[in-house]
């Protein structure tokens, strides 16, 4: 029986934090690439959807970690403030400040879209553009921070990999695209006036497909790094290579969260990509792909957090 110090609240914090950071970074980058937010169209619509989603999961995840760090005993409710009392180069200190800044900027960024008819050139245009630049930097920072935080613990061999931060970053961007696609599928217009699938669906699906492909590559590098490393890191990786988390990692995360979504997306993207046909996908398939990617993103954090604890600590 393994003793776990970090449980579901920490796992959900890592997942929700990456999800919101990914959605914010994707939204802001799409806005800036669309003429710096000066052009109306699908880029602006995607940016608005991501901007309104981004703060919510990050605030929820931060609330969970605050409860995990504090207690319900009088006098200890605000223990988390200690993270901001000391500023140094530790991952925890830097990450806390980046996370706090992201929450504030993401709320400002979302505010610029909270109008009856937001559009390029409106009275919040300059604020929207300025906050978008900050969102790209802070979103990537929050997504990287969680992987760096775990990777900075050499006493936990499963986490002790320089590739873990990159894996968490790519996963955050992928789940960010997925949650925007899900929000657009559920609350947005699935078809245009002519009954055809709207063009932003193709942009999101193709982007998600590329990110999943890159995530598969990073997973390969993550495993190869441990395989080529001698000692405890290689031994710890056995927990997903025949050990007790093997099924959850390979079937839950890799197959359901990566391979199945990319295969479904390829079926609908390839005709448009190679033969310039009209992109058409049922709403049910959009929702399914998005949910699978989100499940995969959660399972990745679950496996990583649990594996790092059950493989035990080592002497330094």
Residue 74 lies in a domain: yes
Residue 3 lies in a domain: no
Q: Which range marks the domain in which residue 123 is found? A: 8-310
Residue 27 lies in a domain: yes
Whether the pLDDT of residue 189 is over 80: the answer is: no
- Which residues share a beta bridge with 210? none
Residue with the larger pLDDT of the pair 275 and 266: 266
DSSP-derived 3-state class of residue 191 = strand
Which residue in 161, 215, 262 sits closest to 22, CA to CA?
215
Q: 66-99 pLDDT, tens per residue? A: 776 665 554 555 555 665 566 666 666 777 888 9
Rounded CA-CA distance 300/15 in Å is 9
Residue 316 lies in a domain: no
Please give the pLDDT value at position 195: 46
Mean pLDDT of 164-176: 95
Mean pLDDT of 245-260: 95
Q: What is the CATH number for 123?
A: 1.20.1630.10
Mean pLDDT of 219-247: 82
Q: 35-46 pLDDT, tens per residue? A: 655 666 778 888
Q: What is the full DSSP assignment across 195-209?
A: SPBPHHHHHHHHHHH
Mean pLDDT of 242-260: 94
Q: How confident is the model at residue 139 (pLDDT cuts 50, 70, 90)?
A: very high
Cβ(236)–Cβ(223) below 8 Å: no
Please give the pLDDT value at position 89: 64
Domain count within the chain = 1
Residue 91 lies in a domain: yes
Cβ(76)–Cβ(95) below 8 Å: no
Residue 1 lies in a domain: no
Mean pLDDT of 259-278: 91
Rounded CA-CA distance 95/152 in Å is 12
pTM for the whole structure:
0.88
DSSP-derived 3-state class of residue 56 = helix
Cβ(192)–Cβ(198) below 8 Å: yes
Rounded CA-CA distance 40/243 in Å is 51
Rounded CA-CA distance 291/88 in Å is 38
Residue 315 lies in a domain: no
Mean pLDDT of 234-244: 83
Whether the pLDDT of residue 146 is over 90: the answer is: no
Residue 225 lies in a domain: yes
Residue with the larger pLDDT of the pair 40 and 210: 210
Cβ(180)–Cβ(50) below 8 Å: yes
Q: How confident is the model at residue 104 (pLDDT cuts 50, 70, 90)?
A: very high
Q: Which residues contact 179 (CB under 8 A, 6 or more apart)?
A: 19, 22, 23, 53, 57, 290, 294
């Amino acid at each position: 029986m393994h003793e776990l110090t970090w449980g579901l609240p920490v796992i959900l914090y890592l997942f929700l934090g990456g999800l919101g950071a990914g959605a914010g970074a994707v939204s802001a980058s799409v806005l800036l690439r669309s003429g710096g937010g000066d052009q109306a169209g699908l880029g602006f619509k995607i940016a608005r959807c991501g901007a309104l989603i981004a703060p919510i999961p990050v605030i929820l995840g931060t609330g969970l970690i605050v409860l995990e760090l504090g207690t319900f005993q009088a006098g200890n409710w605000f223990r988390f403030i200690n993270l901001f009392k000391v500023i140094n180069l530790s991952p925890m200190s830097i990450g806390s400040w980046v996370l706090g800044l992201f929450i504030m900027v993401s709320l400002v960024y979302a505010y610029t879209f909270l109008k009856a008819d937001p559009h390029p050139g409106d009275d919040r245009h300059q604020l929207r553009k300025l906050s978008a630049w900050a969102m790209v930097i802070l979103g990537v920072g929050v997504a990287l921070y969680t992987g760096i935080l775990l990777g900075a613990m050499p006493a936990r061999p499963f986490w002790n990999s320089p590739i873990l931060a990159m894996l968490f970053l790519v996963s955050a961007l992928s789940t960010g695209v997925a949650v925007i696609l899900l929000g657009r599928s559920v609350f947005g217009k699935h078809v245009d006036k002519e009954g055809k699938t709207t063009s932003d669906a193709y942009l999101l699906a193709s982007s998600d497909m590329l990110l999943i492909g890159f995530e598969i590559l990073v997973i390969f590098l993550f495993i190869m790094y441990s395989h080529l490393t001698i000692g405890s890191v290689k031994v710890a990786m056995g927990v997903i290579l025949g050990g007790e988390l093997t099924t959850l990692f390979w079937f839950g995360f890799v197959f359901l969260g990566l391979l199945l979504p990319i295969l479904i997306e390829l079926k609908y993207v390839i005709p448009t990509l190679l033969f310039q046909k009209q992109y058409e996908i049922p709403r049910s398939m959009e929702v399914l792909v998005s949910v699978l990617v989100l499940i995969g993103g959660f399972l990745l954090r679950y496996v990583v957090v649990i594996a790092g604890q059950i493989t035990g600590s080592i002497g330094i």
